[in-house]
Homo-oligomer: A and B are copies of this chain.
Amino acid sequence: MIAVLKSGTNDKQIDNLSSWLKAQGLDVHISKGSEHTVIGLIGDTSKVDAELIESLEIVESVKRISEPFKSANRKFHPDDSIIQVGNTSVGGNTFAIMAGPCSVESEEQVMEIAKAVKKAGATMLRGGAFKPRTSPYDFQGLKADGIEFLLEAKKETGLPIVTEIMNANHLSLFEDVDVIQVGARNMQNFELLKELGKTNKPILLKRGLANTLKELLMSAEYIMAGGNENIILCERGIRTFETYTRNTLDLSAVPMLRELTHLPVIIDPSHATGVARLVKPMALAAAACGADGLMIEVHNDPVHALCDGAQSLTPDAFADVTHSVKKVLKALSED
């Protein structure tokens, strides 16, 4: 970590700062330039509070050289992490395909979709039982019943299930859930992350709408610091000024995270774009740039059927996506 001091800082101030830094167990290298003094901090700086140092009046800016995440850092764990999920896995050479309805609406619905997505190549079933909605007046999910229905579908199809948690107090309901999802709005709900760190369940951690990749990895670090290293990262679009798409899918996150971390990275093109017609091209792009999997919304419910389509895909359209994704993966594996 490097701290650049303001011009005009006097020696006494530098000595004071330097003593205080040393008291925290760091080595300190001071190099005085013509105008600015630069202090290099050497040692385990992951526990140094950069914000605090930057807030000091004599400090112009602070720059981390080592990343502040440790457990998630590829530097200390060069091999890809492979997250075991039931009889399948995420990461390494497996390409995970999680598919299912946005919300669980009934046992029939989820059962029918589960069978359809399994047939079309899904490796896991996703479905929302607890739904984070912007408005308190919108449907909040079937909750415990929704999880029940997912478990029934799992029993029938063998597909492991992925569903979102919004409250650590609900953890007991998730005992038979295979992957617990943390939604974008809860990515920095640190209390929830800490509780999930105490479990040994695979966690699907979605990037927040306005969170940097570094913050995503720090949130993974919260879970890992508690002892649970089974984390799957998920990019699902970030908030920008563009309005034709609901969010802007940041696909560069895939190769960038690949470099920074050993954790697997999947893409959710349904939420990222909010437009069914864009799901296939973005799923292909995700596969081509090295993602470890996809999370895709598939529906069969009457409201959507009524109007012949929706943000989520029909089972047939989904089958078409998995078919093409496999072509891309195959072509590149022969690379």
- Residues in chain A within 8 A of chain B (CB atoms): 2, 4, 7, 13, 16-17, 20, 29, 31, 33-36, 38, 40, 42, 46-47, 49, 51-52, 55-61, 63, 65-66, 68-69, 75, 132-139, 166-169, 185-186, 188-191, 194, 208-210, 212-215, 218, 221-222, 225, 238-245, 248-252, 254-256, 259-260, 272-278, 281-282, 284-290, 303-304, 306-312, 323-324, 327-328, 330-332, 334-335
Report whether A136 and B254 are in contact in the complex, using a CB–CB cutoff of 8 Å. no
CA distance A297 to B63 in the complex (A): 24
List 17 A–B pairs whose Cβ atoms lie within 8 Å, in order of A's numbering: A16-B307, A20-B303, A20-B306, A31-B40, A38-B40, A55-B304, A56-B306, A56-B307, A132-B190, A213-B244, A245-B256, A252-B282, A256-B275, A285-B286, A285-B289, A287-B288, A328-B328
5 smallest A-B Cβ distances: which pairs? A57-B309, A210-B210, A331-B331, A288-B288, A285-B285
CA distance A133 to B251 in the complex (A): 27
With a cutoff of 8 Å between Cβ atoms, the chain B residues found around residue A69 in the complex are 135
With a cutoff of 8 Å between Cβ atoms, the chain B residues found around residue A17 in the complex are 306-307
Of B7, B13, B46, B241, which one neighbours A239 at CB under 8 angstroms? B241
With a cutoff of 8 Å between Cβ atoms, the chain B residues found around residue A304 in the complex are 55-57
With a cutoff of 8 Å between Cβ atoms, the chain B residues found around residue A38 in the complex are 2, 40, 65
CB distance from A276 to the nearest CB of B (A): 7
Report whether B307 and A68 are in contact in the complex, using a CB–CB cutoff of 8 Å. no
Of B31, B137, B210, B324, which one neighbours A332 at CB under 8 angstroms? B324
With a cutoff of 8 Å between Cβ atoms, the chain B residues found around residue A260 in the complex are 244
> How many copies altogether?
4
Report whether A307 and B58 are in contact in the complex, using a CB–CB cutoff of 8 Å. yes
CA distance A281 to B267 in the complex (A): 14
Report whether A134 and B55 are in contact in the complex, using a CB–CB cutoff of 8 Å. no
| Chain B residue with Cβ nearest A189 | B189
CA distance A17 to B309 in the complex (A): 12
With a cutoff of 8 Å between Cβ atoms, the chain B residues found around residue A29 in the complex are 31, 33
CA distance A49 to B282 in the complex (A): 26
CB distance from A143 to the nearest CB of B (A): 11
Report whether B240 and A241 are in contact in the complex, using a CB–CB cutoff of 8 Å. yes
Report whether B218 and A134 are in contact in the complex, using a CB–CB cutoff of 8 Å. yes
CB distance from A74 to the nearest CB of B (A): 12
CA distance A249 to B251 in the complex (A): 7
Report whether B306 and A16 are in contact in the complex, using a CB–CB cutoff of 8 Å. yes
Q: A136-B221, A240-B250, A251-B251 are in contact. List 7 more A-B contacts (CB 8 A).
A: A16-B307, A20-B303, A29-B31, A57-B309, A255-B282, A285-B286, A323-B335
Report whether B65 and A4 are in contact in the complex, using a CB–CB cutoff of 8 Å. yes
Of B186, B284, B327, which one neighbours A289 at CB under 8 angstroms? B284
